[in-house]
Amino acid sequence: MAQSVNNFLTRFWSIGLGLVLAAALSAGVAGCKKDSTPEVDPDAVANVKLATSATLGTYMTDASGNTLYIFARDVDGTNSCTSATCMPLWPVYYEANIKVPKALNAADFATKTTTDGRQQTTYKGWPLYYYAPATAGVYTREAPGATGGNGIGGIWHVLNPDYGVVLASKTVVDKTAGTSSTKTFLTDINGRTLYYFAKDNTSPSTQPTNCTSGCAAIWPALYMSAPAAPSSLLASNFGTISRDPSPTGGAYGTTTSTRNQLTYKGHPLYYYAGDAATRGKVEGHNLNDSGDFWFVADPAR
């Protein structure tokens, strides 16, 4: 009887010890696997970086810290810097395999081919550039951290990924006169044209109700709080007015409660449904809609 008990205890402890050893071995293997494939920090491997300036705020750079710029004349999404004087001054930025930090979205970047066959990286449809000023006739890319290209001509700016409103410049057709001229005007970050309403100037005390119902369906309000914007647009010129819910929907969104419409220099900002939410499209300039005129949002006005 004693021998049977001893045999049972021996087998019991052998089995228990085996289970303990197996569990420990399994935990050790799992630990080794975890240690052998550490998580990659997106910020550490990013080849697009973010820098900060006391005057310009956040802006985008390449992996080496060279500042990246956008050009107002590229509002259609195509590189417009094609002249012999522009191209060497503003070299294109191209990165074949974009890796972004956590603060950015890789889906916002793409590649386009310029008219002369060069590859160029874009951000939300805007082609990206370096700045290479000429010294003694030699065009040399500015040093990492330099932002000397910002504000040149009022149409070149560093790229802040948080821009809500930017500048565009292109030939615009006057819908009343039928003439064409180059205009500089406001768009959202996706290049969609923004407009002023003449009635808002002549009846400033009733701005929130100057364009409602059917008008608001054709001319949707830009609902936005004061945005980040290029340095040529003074932050102090942005404001808001409170409006009733919007009936629009579609590409411009629908509101079910009172919201703030963005203004610039006191002018409420609108889209035009006739532009079909298409970047660079301008079908509403000096358009007479039921006796009231609409104009591209000229920041100088």
Would the pLDDT of 4 be above 70? no
**Cα–Cα distance, 265 to 301 (Å, whole number):** 8
Q: How would residue 25 be classed by pLDDT, with cut points 50, 70 and 90?
A: very low
**Cα–Cα distance, 256 to 244 (Å, whole number):** 8
User: Mean pLDDT throughout 166-172?
Assistant: 98
Q: Which residue has the higher pLDDT, 103 or 250?
A: 103
Would the pLDDT of 176 be above 60? yes
Would the pLDDT of 20 be above 90? no
User: Mean pLDDT throughout 189-218?
Assistant: 95
Query: 128 is written with which tokens?
Result: 């990206």
| Per-residue pLDDT at 13 | 43
| Per-residue pLDDT at 246 | 57
- The rounded Cα 134 to chain-centroid distance in angstroms is 30
| Per-residue pLDDT at 296 | 98
| Per-residue pLDDT at 53 | 94
Which residue has tokens 């509403």?
Answer: 284
| Per-residue pLDDT at 259 | 87
Find out whether 266 and 239 touch, Cβ atoms under 8 Å. yes
| Per-residue pLDDT at 137 | 86
| Distances in whole angstroms, Cα of residue 160 to Cα of each of 8, 75, 189, 226, 298 | 75, 16, 10, 15, 21
| Per-residue pLDDT at 245 | 64
- On average, the pLDDT of the chain sits at 88
Q: How would residue 9 be classed by pLDDT, with cut points 50, 70 and 90?
A: very low
Q: How would residue 36 be classed by pLDDT, with cut points 50, 70 and 90?
A: low
Q: How many CA atoms lie within 13 A of 30 on its CB side?
A: 6
| Distances in whole angstroms, Cα of residue 205 to Cα of each of 196, 208, 210, 299 | 16, 8, 9, 21
Class of residue 112 by CB neighbours under 10 A (exposed 0-12, middle 13-18, buried 19+) = middle
Which residue has tokens 């936005």?
Answer: 224
SS3 of residue 54 by DSSP:
coil
Q: pLDDT tens, 128-161?
A: 999 999 988 899 999 999 999 999 999 999 999 9
Q: pLDDT tens, 243-299?
A: 876 555 555 655 556 889 999 999 999 999 999 999 999 999 999 988 899 999 999
Q: How would residue 8 be classed by pLDDT, with cut points 50, 70 and 90?
A: very low
User: Mean pLDDT throughout 210-226?
Assistant: 93
| Per-residue pLDDT at 12 | 44
